[in-house]
Amino acid sequence: MALKQRLDYSDYAAIPPDRNRYEVLDGELLVTPAPSPLHQRVSKRLQRQLEQFFEGSGRGEVFNAPIDVILSAHDVVQPDLVVVTEPSQISSRGIEGLPALLVEVLSPSSRQTDRSAKAKRYAALGCPHYWIVDPDGRRVDCYRVADHKYTPVVEAEGNATLAHPDWPGLTIDLAMLWRSVT
C-alpha cells in the first residue's frame, strides 16, 4: 500500500479538531498553534476597517479565520482575513477559488511561512492580492500578482494611513491597528 504523496481536501477534512490550525499548502500539511491576543487584536481591527470599505459599499464580504479557503485540490488554507468579491465563491465548505484578497497577520510561529511559502504558493495560484501585516514591526505590505509573482503595491508603517490604489477610497488607519488596549 503506497502512502499518499500530496494531501487534498478530503485528507484535510478528516483532521480531528484540536487547538491547532491546520492548512494544506501544495499538498503539504502545515500546523501552527492558536494565535496570540496581540495577533487577534490586530486582525480584528483590520477586519473592521476592511468591512467598512467592502461590506459598507456592497463591494464584497470579509471573513476571518478560521475559515477554509479552498484554492485548489491540494491547497486549503486559513488566512487571517479573506475578502471575497464574488458571492458564488462562498459555499458550505468555505471559500472556493481565488478570493480578491488574502491577509496574513504575522506571528512568531508563522512569520517565515507567511512571507515565503504561502506568498509563493498564493502567487503561483494567481491570488490577486496578498497583504502581510507585521504587528511587531508595525507594518503592512500589500502585494499584487503579476505573472504568478507578487510585486509590491503599497506599504505603510507606524501610525501612517495606508491608501490602496487598486481600491479607491480604501484607507487603513495603522494607528488603530497597533493602539494599546485601554
State the pLDDT confidence band at 4, using cuts at 50, 70 and 90. Answer: low
In a domain, 142, yes or no: yes
Sign of CA dihedral 83, 49, 60, 129: negative
Beta bridge partners of 142: 131, 154
In a domain, 123, yes or no: yes
> What's the rounded Cα separation, in Å, for the pair 128 and 179?
29
> What's the rounded Cα separation, in Å, for the pair 127 and 102?
8
For residue 106, give its domain range. Answer: 36-178
In a domain, 19, yes or no: no
Task: Please say if the pLDDT value at position 20 is more than 80.
Answer: no
pLDDT digits (tens, 9 = 90+) for 33-85: 888 899 999 999 999 999 999 999 999 999 999 999 999 999 999 999 999 99
In a domain, 144, yes or no: yes
In this structure, what CATH number is given to the domain that contains residue 84? 3.90.1570.10
* Single-letter residue type at 106: L
The burial of 14, by beta-carbon neighbours within 10 Å (0-12 exposed, 13-18 middle, 19 or more buried), is given as exposed
Count of the separate structural domains present in the chain = 1
Q: What pTM did the predictor assign?
A: 0.90
Q: What angle do CA 149, 59, 77 make, to 5 degrees?
A: 45
In a domain, 23, yes or no: no
